A = this chain, B = another copy of it.
């Protein structure tokens, strides 16, 4: 009879996500992972496969959670601009909290560019979901008159995603939360 697993799979995966967020793929050693996940080498291989498989599962988990959070915030307010503001400010506040690790999605894009088809596909799927939600909300905002008729929803969605990335990078570089909020507010001005 197989011995029951002695660790919480979800908690171990989350620990791996945190390490990869902070150090990227190349910068993370198997020892770093074992230490953070508090599991044995054999458990890691049995449960998650090798470092690359664990990285891909961590990235999948990270981007799915992040995108769901952003889309939820986007749809949390009665008006479109308030929803966009809520999503950007919450993201800025979270990114700027001291001790918050880097963004695994941005880290993966920096590290791999388009060189790894599995990484590219994972990020493309999440990106597509966020792009579609943003486009829909921005089109709604144009219909309701909140957003300028001159704004193209597709271009504006690309721009808001670039703003999320810019905020995260500014935070990673040490910018204060007030600066991150200012970036978010400037981005919102462009929609009006």
Neighbour of A110 across the interface among B127, B169, B175, CB < 8 A: B169
So how many copies of this chain end up in the complex? Answer: 2
A39 at the interface (CB under 8 A from B): no
Residues B110 and A111 in contact, CB atoms below 8 Å apart: yes
Residues B106 and A102 in contact, CB atoms below 8 Å apart: no
Q: List CB contacts (< 8 Å) of A9-50 with chain B.
A: 22-24, 26-27
Q: How far is the CB of A62 from chain B (nearest CB, A)?
A: 14
Q: A150-170 interface mask toward B, CB cutoff 8 Å, 1 = contact, 0 = none?
A: 011011101101111111011
Residues A162 and B161 in contact, CB atoms below 8 Å apart: no
A64 at the interface (CB under 8 A from B): no
Residues A170 and B162 in contact, CB atoms below 8 Å apart: yes
Report the separation of the CA atoms of residues A150 and B48 in the bound assembly, to the nearest whole angstrom: 53
Q: Which residues of B contact A110 (CB under 8 A)?
A: 24, 102, 106-107, 110-111, 169, 172
A179 at the interface (CB under 8 A from B): yes
Closest CB pairs A-B (n = 10): A162-B166, A155-B182, A159-B186, A190-B190, A26-B26, A166-B166, A189-B190, A26-B27, A110-B110, A165-B169
